Structure 1
Amino acid sequence: MSYHPIMGITIFFLFLIIAFFIGKSSSRKIIRKPFLVVDNKKNSDVKSDSISPDANWID
């Protein structure tokens, strides 16, 4: 049986599509927790002028 590069590319994309659908179905079952917790309290120790003096919208 001879091997053709188009066969390899087709098999690669086939496994890529199968992996996509397996990952999509398994991610539905997992309850996602927030990775980033934002604290809305202003920290008075950090001055915005020291971070970026030209950005007046940070205040």
Structure 2
Amino acid sequence: MFGRKAAQKLDDTAADLHRRYGKAGDIIANAVIAPVRNQIDTGCTRCARGKCKKHS
């Protein structure tokens, strides 16, 4: 349904929410972004680019 570029945008948006709003941003990302992101069969695109602080 969605591809790697969509996954990258969603991952970046979730990371931005976390940076700006902390735990509240995580809650929003998990409620809104996670259901769509889980449909994409691609690993964390931020890890692949060396920008992920959650999985590193």
TM-score range, shorter chain: 0.3 to 0.5
More RCO (CA 8 Å, sep 6+): 2
Q: Which has the larger radius of gyration?
A: 1
TM-score, with structure 2 as normaliser: 0.36
TM-score, with structure 1 as normaliser: 0.35
